[in-house]
């Protein structure tokens, strides 16, 4: 979880169940465009025939607000900007993308 999430809220989430944290609805195409804009890149998208999965994601924060009194403090763009900056800094330091322990490609 992001540093800005109060540790007491994070602990209560762990003890009380799972909550989907988020904000506005965003389609996959919108998410791709947003990240490309943050990265300063122009990209093309090619849609291919195949199974149609989830077309977008959003979350309903009413439950976490009701149970824990928590609400997002920032919008999707500002969260992605911070995340992108962190990843870019890791790549600059190490010359490679960080790999989470236990994920594909980790030792």
Complete DSSP assignment for 20-62: ----S-EEHHHHHHHHHHHHT--------SS-----EE---TH
Q: pLDDT value at position 75?
A: 83
Indicate the pLDDT class of residue 57, thresholds 50, 70 and 90.
low
Residue 48 has pLDDT above 50, yes or no: yes
Q: pLDDT value at position 81?
A: 94
Joined tokens for residue 20: 């989907």
CA-CA-CA-CA torsion sign (64, 65, 68, 72): positive
Of all residues in the chain, what percent carry a pLDDT higher than 90?
Answer: 21
Q: pLDDT value at position 1?
A: 42
Mean pLDDT of the chain: 75
Q: Domains of the chain, with CATH numbers?
A: 7-94 (3.90.25.10)
């Amino acid at each position: 979880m992001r540093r800005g999430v109060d540790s007491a809220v994070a602990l209560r989430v762990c003890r009380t169940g799972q909550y989907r944290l988020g904000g506005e609805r965003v389609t996959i195409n919108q998410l791709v465009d947003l990240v490309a804009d943050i990265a300063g890149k122009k990209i093309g998208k090619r849609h291919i025939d195949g199974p149609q999965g989830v077309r977008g994601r959003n979350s309903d924060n009413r439950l976490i607000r009701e149970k824990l009194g928590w609400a997002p403090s920032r919008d999707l763009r500002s969260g992605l900007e911070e995340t992108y900056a962190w990843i870019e800094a890791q790549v600059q330091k190490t010359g490679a993308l960080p790999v989470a322990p236990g994920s594909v490609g980790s030792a």
